[in-house]
C-alpha cells in the first residue's frame, strides 16, 4: 500500500490534531528505520496506522478484545491501552494489511512487550518522540534516540512507568516486561 492511500484511509479515523501527530510519527519512524536498519516501508505503514482505532467507542473496543480472545486483563487497565491491539485487529480486517511485523508494531506501540522487534521498538519510540510531543523528559529521549535506540526506549518506558506511579495508576504487566527486557538487552550489549 502506498503512503497517500494509507494516509487517506487513516485520516477518516482521526481528528485533525491526531492526524498531524500521525504524520509526525510517520516521519520520525522513517528516520529511525533508516538510522537503525529497519524496513522503511513497514515502519512507514505501521506509523501511519498506529492510532487507527484511537477514536473508536470504548464499548466497541471492549467487545473486540473479548470476541477476539485478546488478553482480557487489558480491560482492567486504562482504556488508553486498548486502541493498540484493537487497532492491529482492525487494520487487518478493515484495511487488509496482513503483515505480522506491521500488525505487531501497531499492537505493542502503547504497552511494549518483552523482546520487542526492531520495528516494534521504532514505532513505540517514534510515537513517543515525534516533534509534536511536548512533555518533561521527551528531549532527553530524543537525544538518546540519535545514538542508542535501546537506551532511548528504556528511558521512554521509565518515564511512562514513573508518570503512572505518580498518578497512582496501575502499570500494565507488558510495560514492566518491556523495561526488564530492555535492561537485560543493554546489559548484554555492554558485557
- Tell me if 179 is assigned to some domain: no
Query: Which structural domain range is residue 39 located in?
Result: 3-134
Closest to 22 measured CA to CA, from 9, 40, 38: 9
- Tell me if 166 is assigned to some domain: no
Q: How many separate domains does the chain show?
A: 1
The SS3 assignment for 71 reads coil
* CA geometry: angle 172, 13, 78, nearest 5 deg: 15
The structure's pTM equals: 0.96
Characterize 7-29 residue by residue with b for buried, 16 or more Cβ atoms within 10 angstroms of its Cβ, and e for exposed: eebbeebbeeeebebbbbbbebb
Give the pLDDT of the chain (191 residues) as one tens digit per residue.
Answer: 999 999 999 999 999 999 999 999 999 999 999 999 999 999 999 999 999 999 999 999 999 999 999 998 999 999 999 999 999 999 999 999 999 999 999 999 999 999 999 999 999 999 999 999 999 999 999 999 999 999 999 999 999 999 999 999 999 999 999 999 999 999 987 76
Question: Where residue 108 sits, what CATH number does that domain have?
Answer: 1.10.3210.10
Amino acid at each position: 500500500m502506498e503512503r497517500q492511500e494509507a494516509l487517506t484511509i487513516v485520516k477518516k479515523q482521526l481528528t485533525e490534531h491526531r492526524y498531524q501527530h500521525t504524520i509526525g510519527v510517520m516521519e520520525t519512524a522513517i528516520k529511525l528505520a533508516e538510522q537503525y536498519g529497519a524496513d522503511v516501508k513497514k515502519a512507514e505503514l505501521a506509523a501511519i496506522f498506529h492510532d487507527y482505532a484511537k477514536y473508536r467507542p470504548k464499548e466497541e473496543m471492549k467487545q473486540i478484545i473479548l470476541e477476539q480472545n485478546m488478553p482480557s486483563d487489558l480491560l482492567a487497565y486504562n482504556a488508553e491501552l486498548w486502541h493498540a491491539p484493537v487497532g492491529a485487529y482492525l487494520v487487518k480486517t478493515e484495511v487488509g494489511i496482513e503483515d505480522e511485523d506491521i500488525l505487531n508494531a501497531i499492537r505493542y506501540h502503547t504497552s511494549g512487550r518483552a523482546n520487542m522487534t526492531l520495528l516494534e521498538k521504532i514505532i513505540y519510540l517514534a510515537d513517543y518522540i515525534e516533534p509534536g510531543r511536548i512533555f518533561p523528559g521527551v528531549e532527553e529521549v530524543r537525544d538518546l534516540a540519535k545514538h542508542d535506540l535501546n537506551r532511548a526506549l528504556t528511558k521512554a518506558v521509565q518515564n511512562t512507568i514513573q508518570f503512572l506511579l505518580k498518578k497512582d495508576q496501575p502499570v500494565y504487566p507488558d510495560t514492566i516486561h518491556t523495561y526488564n527486557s530492555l535492561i537485560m538487552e543493554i546489559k548484554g550489549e555492554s558485557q
